[in-house]
Structure 1
Amino acid sequence: METISSIKTRVYRFGNKNADGSSEMKNLLGGKGANLAEMSAIGIPVPPGFTITTEVCTAYNRLGQEDTIYLIKEEVESAIDFIENIMGCKFGDMENPLLISVRSGARVSMPGMMDTVLNLGLNDQAIDGLIRKTANERFVWDSYRRFIQMYSGVVLGMKPLTKEDIDPFEEIMEHLKEKREITLDTDFTVQDLKDLVYDFKDVVRKRTGKEFPMDPWEQLWGAVMAVFDSWNGDRAKYYRKMNGYPSDWGTAVNVQAMVFGNMGENSGTGVCFTRDAATGENVFNGEYLINAQGEDVVAGVRTPQQITTLGSKKWAELAQIEEKDRSENYPSLEELMPKMFYELNQYQDILERHYRDMQDMEFTIQDGKLWILQTRNGKRTGAAMVKIAVDLLKEGLINEKEAMLRIEPNKLDELLHPVFDPAGLVKEDIIAQGLPASPGAATGQIVFFADEADKYKYTILTRIETSPEDLEGMNVAKGILTARGGMTSHAAVVARGMGKCCVSGAGALKINYKERTMTVEGKEYQEGDWISINGSTGNIIEGKVPTMEPELSGEFAQIMSLSDKFRKMKVRTNADTPKDAKVARSFGAEGIGLTRTEHMFFEVDRIKAMREMILADTVKGRKLALKELLPMQRSDFEGIFEAMQGLPVTVRLLDPPLHEFVPHQLATQKELAEDLHISLSSVKTKVAELQEFNPMLGHRGCRLGNTYPEITEMQTRAIIEAALNLKEKGIEVTPEIMVPLIGTVNEFVVQDEIIRKTAEQVFKERNNKVEFLVGTMIEIPRAALMADKIAERADFFSFGTNDLTQMAFGYSRDDAGKFLSIYLEKGILTSDPFEIIDREGVGQLLAIGTERGRKTKPSLKVGICGEHGGEPNSVEFCNMIGMNYVSCSPFRVPIARVAAAQASILDKEQNS
């Protein structure tokens, strides 16, 4: 046999406590292949196999099938020989056949998004030899029918014809079950299984016009290429887009010797987690099935049993099953196979300590022997992510920096979602109980099909069971409800990864796709009916349930404290009201980076005065209207300043064009004319005059203040008077007045003079002073390039990246949706520039503006207040170019704090 060390680099082998690769090679071997190699090397019992690298997938997309097979044929044949020598059987042999599995393996976990084929190598001749070898005719025929079903779906494209139909093979099995009056696959007799194999091959013949392939090598190459193809399948592409994974990564292909959980009552298969993926609790948990293969557990076809006795009792309590019935009919693996449980428990402990993270493992027990098929860092909810990181830190498995880097900043958003208010729950409204698969609270209207998840504003995707094809609908829906499946089903695992509320395995639900109904204990619910689901308890509730703000855990506070220890940048918030300011402060905001004053003018009691100011033909008329607005603005600022208790508050002067404030409907125009005692024609004329061809580039921002300086005077007076009023109450205030949309130095100079002159006038009137800053919002490319000149007068810069992105790309944010998705799909853009800062273009403007501004004024305070301020990748870039702070919406403040800490840690590591 060829020695393992001489294998070429396109195929990496593992098995028999030896491996070519390691866990450090995930980019090349994919996560699954790298971990299989690692487990084999450290002595975990892994079925032998090999990994075809991600580079081959990339080559396949360029070369096509024939040339790719030629490229790797010799290495694959050698690797099959390697497996044969370890397993003592031969691929394609009629008497002693080697059967293999073919699975995908991207560098990151993408559960269910790509394809798998099990039992590959079976054909009409091999089954006879396998029956003689195993003396288990039922097992062999069961494996054969599974192989035909799976291979036909994955490789031959045998899918349901319509969404109301079920899988053609499932339909044949359901008819046979009805005829035989049985309910489970395990109830099939040997003759039933033989009949199913015959019927399955007949369906393949009729649907494809070809015979099911009998040549094992044809089967293997078909499966390998199908896995490569699945990398660019719709569900994989959507999953990548949802998570921001590049399309050029490719997937590896893992080929392993089959081990069988369906060989009888001494065999089984399962999925387990070293910690609770929903809560983060340090409890080993999982599910298993006796006499089954791995797909049975995640597909939810049979109700899985719990691995531990503790978990089994909790499950029985939820399912309202008496302890006696539970122990007899649903024993835990710990009770049923204590030796196997003991081994599994040892391996889970070894693997968690080795990888120093919560592991998601798959295992098979073949005739009393335990095999570990896979391990990976487990998908987890936001709450579990925080608790696991803190617990691993306390246990000494990771250090503080590692704990911070274990946090996915965006997943913190899950902890801030509302939960059901117990006061609004009525016990009688609970219509059924399922498994609490993914925490959270969701209320919505029932939809039964994933492609209709956007049919209503709020939907609960209600399915018998979900499949990878449902991914897009699962992402759109507010919550997911399934009649089948356990805590490790597809719905549960994917929902937890999304942070989506999910209740699975609600067996009391009878779902009829064709009628679009759900029946529970005789009561029928139609599509569009409102239900609520509690992913923390498994309760399914009729109608809408009110929500309340969540209580944040102690671990959350610990992570926030750790983030403050490491980060260099401050985190502020964008807030226009005292309520928003208080929420942001509770999340740790260190000031306000953007208060939009225009939002204050749209309230009913103010819009009239604002319109009066706009319609005035003279400076005197405008000043009279602005005098009416002054106390309103002053009161607003007092509330915001008081909420921030001495922290800096940046107030942006009026920014939008005036046409946004005037009425455009005839009825409202008539009402305004009557209120102001002017003619309707005067109102219509003024509205027409204000209309702009391109408001984005029109009469707005500093252009308003420079043409109507009385607006800037009023707003400055309101800000300064509010600050003085609070100072007299003993409350410290640090106002920062921001001039929007400058493109030239002189635009800022004129506004700066008005602001400072007005402030001095107020100080003189009040015989009192407050410190304040005057700065500008850099949102026009020319301003970034002129930053050195602007910094001669400005105290601070705040980059408005929303408008800066629009101007730099020439994209309208409101209209870009018409082509952005196509640009992303075609690779013209790698990410949406309105979501993630475009480092190559817009980012360079940020860097140039910061550098040039600080060259003139080293003490210049620089921040960002666009939507990018709460996006982790953008926060990292802001840290990289030396900004003082980022500002974001209140509920994204924790995300920005963690992202800023991670940016500092990574920056130090790269520069050390």
Structure 2
Amino acid sequence: MLDTPGFVEITPTADIRVARHGNRAKCLQRLIRMDLPVPQTVALSFDTVRGIAEGHLPDLATLIALFEGQPKLLSVRSSSEAADWGGPNAVLNIGMNDRAHAWLSNTLGEKAADRIYLRFIRSFAIEVMRLDEEAFAEAETPAIARDVYEAEIDAPFPQAIADQLAAVLRSMARAWEGTSARLLRQAQGAPADAGLGLVVQRMAQGMGPGQSGAGVVQFVDPATGDPQVTGRYMGQSMGREALRRREKAIYLTRDPRGASLQEMLPEVYTELLEIGARCRERLREEMQVEFTIDQGRLAVLDAVRCPREARASVAIATALARDGIIPRAEALLRVAPGTLSHLLHRQIDPAAERRVIARGVAASPGAAAGRIVFDSAAAQAALARDEPCILVRRETTPDDVRGMHAADAVLTERGGSTSHAAMIARGLGLPCVTGATGLTISYRNRQVRLPDGSTLTEGDVITVDGSSGQVLSGKVATNEPALDGAFGDLMAWSDAVRDIGVRANADTVADATLSRTFGVDGIGLCRTEHMFFDEGRLTVMREMIFAETGPDRAAALERLLPMQRADFTELFGLMSGLPVCIRLLDPPLHEFLPSGPEGVQALAEALDRPLSEVRARIDAMQEYNPMLGMRGVRLGIALPEIYEMQARAIFEATVAAQAAGHDVHPEIMIPLVTAHREVELVKRRIDGVAGAVRDESGTDFRYDVGVMVETPRAALRAGEIAETSAFLSFGTNDLTQMTYGLSRDDAGRFMSAYVNEGVYPEDPFGTLDIDGVGELLLLGASRGRKARPDIVLGLCGEHGGQADSIAFCRLAGFDYVSCSPFRVPVAKLAAAQATLMASKHAAAHKPKA
């Protein structure tokens, strides 16, 4: 073995390291240690490849001399630190020249020699010298291809193996340093200065006489992860030709559709199965193996982590853990939390043809197809006909919630990842694309204009892919979600590891039922306003809004009381034994009023009031900036009857649920707090209602009152606010909006430009801003805990389902995070991973005894 500063032959004892030579080089060494038939291989380090890119070649004469046999034909493959970071394509048969062609003509036959030489000239010309592929399309012999090359380059085709190898190494090294390659690997999580290693390997020909060829095999189904031999083999071929030319390849296992390797070479097939089993046990992973057969003899060229879809990723990790090959902790760390989103929703079939007609923000995962509708009435009519539909809006408001319940997906012209449409869609498990670029909706014409100028009308069929942000033409095939045993195992193992709670944002019994299915730790946010948008309740709510005096408001609210009480009673029964945090009414009252002429007319009829009076009252209630106007706690102070009714509904439901044998723990949350005095005023009234219900029912019950910290001032004055609050729940959607001075509904229009220009590293509504908003969380948490050590800290914004946010909250000492039901599994896995990574970090920095 020769070890130089630039390269090292891969042997069982060579100093090969992933951080120096890359993932592929280390994997090949492991295969060699397993005594598998791996051709002789040399590894070039990251530093060597950087030097090559700068024009400093290693000692190629010494490198080439390491290889034995004649003719010396070599391949070069990339070896990045992580397999997902990619790298330049492999180049095969380096060293093929006139002399090698003559040698192979005598040993393999002239036809095989011609094929090898022709393939190398084409590959060298196109992949290495960057010549136009079209120029070589009609070259059917090596001589013609060489003439084309020499005409294009105006120089002879290189015959010396050192010259060919030098050109290949330079080309691959420089390609890695290119802008496109750098951006692609950075998208996969690679640092900007990530290194590339290269491996030079003696060719194992699959072009010899008799049973010779090449193939690729893996031992699990790439879609499901179930044990299954998949792949192809092709006689008289090299590399991955069997996968590219499937029409000429044969199956590996017996198959009624055609010939198979198992029938042709049963001993080799059995050897491949043994190799797969050994790789799984020794490499602790399901591998895809590239192999050649030379006159019946097997050679293993490479083994990489087998490609897999989301479901297979979970199945493989859990199967390896169940079989004792990896610890459960490692299985948890191997699955990216976002992967679980693909398991919980229907997804576009990977084999389906896509025709993208618009793109926007991937606001809620999953995919659905249906006919376009433009309002809630049309969506509900489609539901009555059992006809799938897509609700298309400029942007949604609370008045659209009924239509969203009826629709199969939502598409909006405006908005971002935390807009109203996005948040409600995630809660409902609806696919949603918001802020679709170039989309123009005309409600009058019942049409939507696409970016290319074409139009779609109501009733046309589209497919919304909320996982990618794409809108597709027509109905595209989808795959159903798969919550099998592997998913259950992963959730159970996550629960056993994580040390921070995961609650759900659940507004309805359906939300709570789904959350309970996912093993949630309680409800962290129940938005009571969504309970008022049912048709029967909305009319009563509007009567209350139009009431002139406190007694008139109280009379209308008296009719809403039994409805809210019934909602809470059912919710408490379903969540028995778990905390339920109920947010008192938050949005401005104008959101409950109609805006269109038909809606205003209907309201006037329902209230039996003149149309002009109703219209004037609606106009009078409009605010310049309603999201910073009379909403949240301001409603509770200005119109106290609303919060008093809600408190009574909560307490009477508590009494009813306790009588039914349920363990009830309601938490009442006051929204949009900015001052300690606000909490005092509202809490005093809530406590008064609690006392009255206790006296009337003769039943005692427990409850907590806390606040939603969603204004910067509330975070800064958390010490004072905590004095009368049992918990602080940080609502990072509004807190981010107010900290940045950005509208979360409108920021999507320019956010991509801001991120691309480096103004913000990420969209702060999609990824928690640790530096800015995070500092407010830390200040609020520390000041709250200092004033009241037993105070409960939670995060209930959409960031609660994001992995980095969960890790941050855990380090900040939060008790729980809360997110939409369909993000609960993602949050649970992310919480478990954060706990495991923190334990690893602590162990690594533990002082030695």
Partners of 1:261 and 1:410 in 2: how far apart? 41
Aligned CA distance change for structure 1 residues 365 and 148 (closer, same or farther; 3 Å):
same
SS in 1 for 2:240: helix
The one-letter amino acid of 2:204's match is V
Partner of 2:231: 286
Partner of 2:114: 141
Matched, 1:642 2:573: yes
> CA contact under 8 A between 2:220 and 2:226: conserved in structure 1?
yes
Deviation at 1:251, TM superposition (A): 4.5
Aligned CA distance change for structure 1 residues 31 and 221 (closer, same or farther; 3 Å):
closer
Matched, 1:604 2:501: no
The one-letter amino acid of 1:416's match is L
Partner of 1:164: none
1:353 corresponds, among 267, 272, 281, to 281
Partner of 1:398: 326
Mapping of residues 743-782 of structure 1, within 5 Å: 743-782=674-713
Partners of 2:645 and 2:113 in 1: how far apart? 86
Partner of 2:616: 685
> CA contact under 8 A between 1:778 and 1:799: conserved in structure 2?
yes
Partner of 2:31: 39
Runs (5+) with no aligned partner, structure 1: 60-67, 90-95, 160-166, 174-190, 419-439, 461-477, 479-499, 501-527, 533-541
Aligned CA distance change for structure 1 residues 128 and 559 (closer, same or farther; 3 Å):
closer
Aligned CA distance change for structure 1 residues 896 and 268 (closer, same or farther; 3 Å):
same
Partner of 2:428: none
Aligned CA distance change for structure 1 residues 747 and 156 (closer, same or farther; 3 Å):
farther
Partners of 2:527 and 2:818 in 1: how far apart? 13
> CA contact under 8 A between 1:863 and 1:887: conserved in structure 2?
yes
Matched, 1:371 2:291: no
Deviation at 1:708, TM superposition (A): 2.0
Partners of 1:816 and 1:369 in 2: how far apart? 62
> CA contact under 8 A between 2:369 and 2:475: conserved in structure 1?
no
Deviation at 1:577, TM superposition (A): 0.7
Deviation at 1:681, TM superposition (A): 3.6
Partners of 1:71 and 1:893 in 2: how far apart? 49
Partners of 2:785 and 2:82 in 1: how far apart? 41
Deviation at 1:220, TM superposition (A): 1.6
Partners of 1:114 and 1:447 in 2: how far apart? 27
TM-superposition CA deviations, 1:657-679 (whole Å, max 9, x none):
22322222223223223332334
Partners of 1:619 and 1:210 in 2: how far apart? 94
Partner of 2:204: 259
Aligned CA distance change for structure 1 residues 357 and 674 (closer, same or farther; 3 Å):
same
SS in 2 for 1:576: coil
Report percent identity of matched pairs.
Answer: 35
1:562 corresponds, among 493, 508, 512, to 493
Matched, 1:820 2:746: no
Partner of 2:317: 389
Deviation at 1:796, TM superposition (A): 0.9
Partners of 2:354 and 2:135 in 1: how far apart? 22
Could you tell which deviates more after superposition, 629-638 or 274-283? 274-283
Partners of 1:105 and 1:198 in 2: how far apart? 33
Partner of 2:67: 86
Partners of 2:185 and 2:54 in 1: how far apart? 29
1:100 corresponds, among 70, 75, 79, to 75
TM-superposition CA deviations, 1:441-479 (whole Å, max 9, x none):
8599x746578899x98589xxxxxxxxxxxxxxxxx9x
The one-letter amino acid of 2:260's match is P
2:254 corresponds, among 312, 322, 329, to 312
The one-letter amino acid of 2:176's match is F
> CA contact under 8 A between 1:117 and 1:150: conserved in structure 2?
no
Matched, 1:232 2:205: no
> CA contact under 8 A between 1:582 and 1:643: conserved in structure 2?
yes
1:791 corresponds, among 722, 736, 744, to 722
Partners of 1:577 and 1:212 in 2: how far apart? 75
Aligned CA distance change for structure 1 residues 738 and 304 (closer, same or farther; 3 Å):
farther
Deviation at 1:381, TM superposition (A): 3.7
Matched, 1:15 2:10: yes
SS in 2 for 1:109: helix
TM-superposition CA deviations, 1:672-694 (whole Å, max 9, x none):
23332334343333333433343
Partner of 1:463: none
SS in 1 for 2:582: strand
1:335 corresponds, among 263, 267, 287, to 263
Alpha-carbon RMSD = 3.9
Deviation at 1:755, TM superposition (A): 1.8
Partners of 1:850 and 1:601 in 2: how far apart? 33
2:524 corresponds, among 582, 589, 593, to 593
Could you tell which deviates more after superposition, 879-888 or 97-106? 97-106
SS in 1 for 2:338: helix
Mapping of residues 191-270 of structure 1, within 5 Å: 192-194=140-142, 197=145, 201=149, 205=152, 214=158, 216=164, 219-221=167-169, 223-225=171-173, 227-228=175-176, 232-233=180-181, 237=183, 241=187, 247-249=192-194, 251-263=196-208, 265-270=210-215
> CA contact under 8 A between 1:288 and 1:304: conserved in structure 2?
yes
Partners of 1:251 and 1:813 in 2: how far apart? 40
Matched, 1:412 2:354: no
> CA contact under 8 A between 1:117 and 1:147: conserved in structure 2?
no
Matched, 1:30 2:3: no
TM-score by length of 1: 0.72
SS in 2 for 1:232: helix
TM-superposition CA deviations, 1:872-897 (whole Å, max 9, x none):
33222222222222222222222322
SS in 2 for 1:19: coil
Partners of 2:783 and 2:463 in 1: how far apart? 57
Deviation at 1:652, TM superposition (A): 0.8
Partners of 2:691 and 2:156 in 1: how far apart? 89
Partners of 2:736 and 2:245 in 1: how far apart? 47
Deviation at 1:782, TM superposition (A): 2.5
Partners of 1:136 and 1:824 in 2: how far apart? 59
> CA contact under 8 A between 2:636 and 2:642: conserved in structure 1?
yes
SS in 2 for 1:73: coil
Aligned CA distance change for structure 1 residues 795 and 98 (closer, same or farther; 3 Å):
same
Deviation at 1:738, TM superposition (A): 0.6
> CA contact under 8 A between 1:274 and 1:352: conserved in structure 2?
no
SS in 2 for 1:664: coil
TM-superposition CA deviations, 1:383-442 (whole Å, max 9, x none):
434443343334332233233333333323344335xxxxxxxxxxxxxxxxxxxxx785
Partners of 2:727 and 2:658 in 1: how far apart? 23
Deviation at 1:774, TM superposition (A): 0.5
SS in 2 for 1:277: coil
TM-score by length of 2: 0.77
Partner of 1:344: 272
> CA contact under 8 A between 1:788 and 1:856: conserved in structure 2?
yes
Aligned CA distance change for structure 1 residues 544 and 815 (closer, same or farther; 3 Å):
closer
Matched, 1:727 2:655: no
> CA contact under 8 A between 1:119 and 1:147: conserved in structure 2?
yes
Partners of 1:851 and 1:889 in 2: how far apart? 26
What is the count of residue pairs matched by the alignment?
Answer: 739
Deviation at 1:642, TM superposition (A): 1.9
Aligned CA distance change for structure 1 residues 50 and 452 (closer, same or farther; 3 Å):
farther
Matched, 1:876 2:817: no
Deviation at 1:899, TM superposition (A): 2.4
Deviation at 1:756, TM superposition (A): 1.6
Aligned CA distance change for structure 1 residues 353 and 117 (closer, same or farther; 3 Å):
closer
> CA contact under 8 A between 1:120 and 1:219: conserved in structure 2?
no
Aligned CA distance change for structure 1 residues 72 and 792 (closer, same or farther; 3 Å):
farther
Runs (5+) with no aligned partner, structure 2: 361-365, 371-408, 410-430, 432-459, 465-473, 844-849
The one-letter amino acid of 1:384's match is A
Deviation at 1:732, TM superposition (A): 2.6
SS in 2 for 1:593: strand
SS in 2 for 1:278: coil
